[in-house]
Structure 1
Amino acid sequence: MWNSPAEFFAMGGYALYIWSSFGVCAVILLLEPLTICYRKKAIIRRLKQEYLAEQFDKENRH
């Protein structure tokens, strides 16, 4: 039980550990979707390049 907001934010003397853990977790949860989106775009771009290279090879063989 906390008797005041200051006691809540102090977390019984473990505030630095607890709040930094929450902060790191929040940053990771925000960055994860961004990195997934970036990797998806990179994969699609690479697949398009491979497809175009394959089509170019097929056209030049004939």
Structure 2
Amino acid sequence: MIFWNSFADFIAMGGYGGYVWGSFGMAALIMVMEPILVVRRRTQTIARLKRQARAEARNSSE
């Protein structure tokens, strides 16, 4: 079991704190950004498909 003498020791993680917290931060950032980017891409794809459908409807009526 691991015990730390202070909060600073916990943050330092035995000298590996930069790596540990940097990795944790990057993973958290990716987990937050992924759903945002998926929704944005979905919205863009739906808009593009609607534009294509309108263009095809105009071309087929000519």
Q: TM-score band, normalised by the shorter chain?
A: 0.7 to 0.9
What is the TM-score when the length of structure 2 is the normalising length? Answer: 0.87
In structure 2, give the amino acid aligned to 1:28.
I
Structure 2, unaligned runs of 5 or more: none
Structure 1, unaligned runs of 5 or more: none
Identity score, percent: 43
Tell me how many residue pairs correspond in the alignment: 60
**Aligned with residue 58 of structure 1, among 49, 57, 60:** 60
Coordinate RMSD, CA, aligned: 0.9
CA deviation digits over 1:3-60, x for unaligned, max 9? 2111111101100100110111111111111110110011001100111011101211
What is the TM-score when the length of structure 1 is the normalising length? Answer: 0.87
